[in-house]
């Protein structure tokens, strides 16, 4: 037998699983094809590269489907086929839910949210998203596909009989066999190289060759799981960097006692802040401090992402995203402060500190990694709290300054998700009638939601003022910013955040522009007139929040 004859025979044999389980092969392929197709219709600068990645994604998907089909054919058990159908149907269902609601796919970020989310946040998520119009559409698709699977499997023999002549043609069997083998080969290459990506930097490089948005949901899931593993290694690198800080000798040039406060907000849309020109008086305390000359409002500040975990790591560490620096290669500013002789107080309402917590690359896995805690903080909050005001009260009750230099970090819940849960009922200043909007989609329910958000924003202003009151008589400086913004029906019938390769200018305006203020006490202004003049001169300069740590080092 000649070499070519052997190849032909091999390819003919390779089509056997597809011929035997044709219905399964076709339906699973269709269940997974939505993501590669969506990639094709995204806006890309390089059209030909986009098409090539689309073809590449289809070939990898073909490898996935062929492998699954071969397993089903080999097993020959109905229950096993049912399990495989259920698995791929579930991946499809999750994908449609994410795409329709958030313009997201299955990713490391998706799994991170699932790991980080508490039971209370899960309940809020369900209230917010489970019964949206987009969610109902995804459920309808799920049910239609489930019905199609049942009908097609019941009629599988009829389908095979109808296609028997076509399936027996040697040239077609050769093409199917060749494409399937190519798919398996490219799939194994994709997965093998992914397995060797041991940190987020390598994962990023892998994505250049295999953009995860162009892959099928199964491949995206493998990418997401491996990313969590790789990002967990990032934490180990970060610990090693923190150790190196203690081989250095940073010093404080300040002669008088000094308190530096960093307040990290949550989901704050700056265009709902009175100090940025919003129509409602949502920031009366900040406005008063600005009028008195103590508060400086920065006008052109952006967050490079709209995702809390990524933002927090890159704002706590002293890297620069615009310089392609990775957060785990640079120390946390709290570590440097502590090594320099500061007491560092970390009060975080979003902390989830469970005994059996798996230290992945979630934000808390980094911020509260045991060794990093020892190297970076003097004390942290212990109680689980619900409102930001309670966080400030807890700090006042438990923090006792004994050092001349103190860094205080507050991480607030701010205006996160269920806005009406973010402030006490007694602090409700606005109602649906306060929202003077007349767009077609702005019904009373939407106006009520906006009022909830504005009440949460005003309560946030009160919380910041209470923090300021704790340091008003000291030589002290405070920096406040939010991790990202939040759409609240500002220009379209949508609220929340979504991630997109090519976001619109409007979505960036409301999701990525950040409120950013610096407050200085009278004593700080008296002692540091040159610093205050530099702050005044900087309020209109473009600034990105990933380098806020450098600002804090300067102020401290």
Backbone torsions φ then ψ of 439, nearest 5 degrees: -65, 155
Question: In the structure, what pLDDT confidence band is assigned to residue 164 with cuts at 50, 70 and 90?
Answer: low
Distances (CA, A) of 337 to 49, 181, 254, 366, 525: 46, 57, 13, 17, 22
Alpha-carbon distance of 331 to 340, in angstroms, equals: 13
Phi, psi of 478 (to 5 degrees): -130, 140
Rounded mean pLDDT of 86-112?
84
Burial 255-265 (b: 16+ CB within 10 A, else e): eeebbbbbbbb
Tell me: pLDDT of 277 over 90.
Answer: yes
Percentage of the chain beyond pLDDT 90 is 61
**What are the strands, taking DSSP E only, across 6-141?**
none
The helix or strand, by DSSP H or E, that contains position 487, with its residue range, turns out to be strand 487-488
- Say how far apart CA 458 and CA 277 lie, in whole Å: 14
pTM here? Answer: 0.74
d(C-alpha 366, C-alpha 382), whole Å: 17
Q: What pLDDT was estimated at residue 360? A: 31
Residue 272 is given by DSSP the state G
Find out whether 424 and 407 touch, Cβ atoms under 8 Å: no
Going by pLDDT thresholds of 50, 70 and 90, the confidence category of residue 120 is low
pLDDT for residue 544 is more than 80: yes
Looking at per-residue confidence, does 5 or 371 come out higher? 371
Contact 231, 328 (CB under 8 A): no
Distance CA 191, CA 185 (A): 10
Residue (of 309, 313, 304, 345) closest to 331 by Cα position? 313
Q: Is the pLDDT of residue 84 over 50?
A: yes
The per-residue pLDDT for 125 is: 62
Report CA Rg, the chain: 28
Query: Residue 500: what pLDDT?
Result: 65
List beta partners, residue 487.
496
Q: What are phi and psi of 445, to 5 degrees?
A: -65, -40
For 131, which DSSP code?
Answer: T
Give me the residue label for tokens 């903080």. 377
306-352 pLDDT tens trace: 877 788 889 999 999 999 898 999 999 999 999 999 999 999 998 75
More confident position, 277 or 234: 277
Q: How far, in Å, CA of 305 to CA of 321, rounded?
A: 10
Sheet of strand 258-265, all strands in order from the earlier edge strand to the far edge: 295-298, 516-520, 476-482, 258-265, 405-411, 343-348, 379-380
Confidence class for position 113, pLDDT limits 50, 70, 90: low
Buried b or exposed e, range 490-507, using 16+ CB within 10 angstroms: beeebbbbbbbeeeeeeb
Q: How far apart, in whole angstroms, are the C-alpha atoms of residue 371 and residue 384?
A: 22
**Predicted local distance difference test score (pLDDT) of residue 115:** 55
pLDDT tens for 31-46 read 999 888 888 877 666 7
DSSP 216-231: -HHHHHHHHHHHHHHH
Q: Structure tokens of 47?
A: 């059209």
pLDDT at 359: 32
What is the per-residue pLDDT for 268? Answer: 96
pLDDT at 284: 98
Mean pLDDT of 530-548: 96
pLDDT tens-place string over residues 479-520: 999 999 999 999 999 888 876 666 889 999 999 998 999 999
399-454 residue pLDDT tens = 999 999 999 999 999 998 889 999 999 999 999 999 999 999 999 999 999 999 99
> With contact defined as beta carbons under 8 Å apart, do 278 and 496 qualify?
no
Distance CA 442, CA 328 (A): 44
Confidence of residue 11 (pLDDT cuts 50, 70, 90): low
Q: Which residue has the tokens 């609240």?
A: 488
Mean pLDDT, to the nearest integer, of 367-386? 92
Report the Cα 309 to chain-centroid distance in Å. 6
Per DSSP, the residues of 398-424 read: H----SSEEEEEEE--TT-SSGGGSS-
């Amino acid at each position: 037998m000649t070499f070519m004859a052997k190849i032909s025979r091999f390819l003919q044999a390779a089509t056997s699983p597809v011929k035997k389980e044709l219905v399964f092969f076709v339906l699973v392929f269709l269940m997974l094809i939505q993501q590669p197709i969506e990639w094709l219709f995204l806006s890309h600068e390089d059209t030909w590269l986009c098409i090539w990645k689309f073809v590449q994604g289809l070939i990898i998907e073909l490898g996935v489907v062929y492998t699954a089909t071969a397993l089903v054919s080999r097993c020959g058990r109905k229950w096993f086929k049912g399990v495989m159908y259920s698995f791929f149907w579930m991946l499809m269902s999750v994908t449609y839910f994410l795409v329709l609601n958030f313009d997201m796919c299955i990713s490391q970020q998706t799994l991170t949210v699932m790991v980080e989310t508490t039971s209370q946040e899960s309940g809020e998520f369900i209230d917010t998203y489970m019964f949206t119009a987009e969610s109902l559409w995804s459920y309808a698709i799920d049910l239609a596909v489930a019905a199609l699977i049942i009908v097609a499997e019941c009629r599988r023999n009829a389908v095979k009989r109808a296609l028997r002549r076509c399936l027996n043609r040697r040239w077609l069997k050769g093409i199917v066999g060749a494409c399937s083998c190519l798919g398996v080969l490219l799939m194994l290459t994709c997965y093998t190289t992914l397995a060797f990506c041991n940190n987020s930097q390598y994962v990023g490089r892998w994505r250049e060759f295999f953009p995860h948005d162009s892959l099928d949901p199964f491949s995206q899931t493998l990418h997401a799981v491996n990313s969590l593993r790789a990002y967990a290694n990032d934490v180990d690198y970060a610990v090693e960097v923190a150790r190196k800080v203690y081989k250095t000798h940073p010093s404080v040039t300040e002669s008088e006692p000094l308190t530096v406060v960093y307040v990290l907000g949550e989901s704050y849309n700056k265009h709902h802040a009175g100090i940025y020109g919003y129509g409602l008086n949502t920031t009366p305390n900040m406005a008063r401090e600005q009028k008195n000359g103590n508060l400086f409002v920065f006008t052109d500040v952006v967050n490079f992402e709209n995702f809390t975990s990524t933002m927090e790591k890159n704002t706590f560490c002293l890297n620069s995203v615009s310089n392609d620096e990775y957060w785990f290669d640079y120390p946390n500013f709290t570590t440097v402060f502590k090594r320099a002789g500061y007491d560092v107080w970390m009060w975080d309402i979003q902390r989830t500190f469970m005994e059996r917590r798996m230290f992945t690359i979630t934000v808390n896995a980094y911020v509260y990694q045991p060794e990093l805690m020892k190297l970076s903080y003097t004390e942290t909050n212990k109680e689980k709290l619900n409102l930001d005001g309670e966080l400030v009260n807890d700090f006042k009750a438990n923090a006792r300054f004994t050092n001349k230099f103190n860094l205080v970090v507050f991480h607030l819940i701010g205006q996160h998700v269920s806005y009406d849960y973010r402030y006490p009922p007694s602090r409700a200043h606005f109602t649906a009638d306060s929202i003077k909007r007349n767009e077609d989609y702005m019904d009373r329910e939407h106006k009520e939601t906006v009022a909830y958000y504005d009440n949460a924003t005003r309560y946030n202003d009160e919380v910041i003022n209470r923090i300021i009151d704790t340091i008003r008589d000291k030589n002290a400086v405070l920096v406040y910013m939010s991790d990202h913004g939040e759409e609240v029906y500002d220009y379209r019938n949508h609220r929340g955040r979504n991630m997109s390769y090519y976001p619109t200018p409007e979505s960036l305006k409301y999701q990525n522009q950040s409120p950013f203020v610096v407050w200085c006490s009278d004593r700080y202004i008296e002692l540091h007139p040159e610093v205050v003049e530099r702050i005044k001169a900087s309020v209109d300069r473009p600034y990105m929040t990933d380098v806020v740590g450098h600002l804090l080092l300067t102020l401290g």
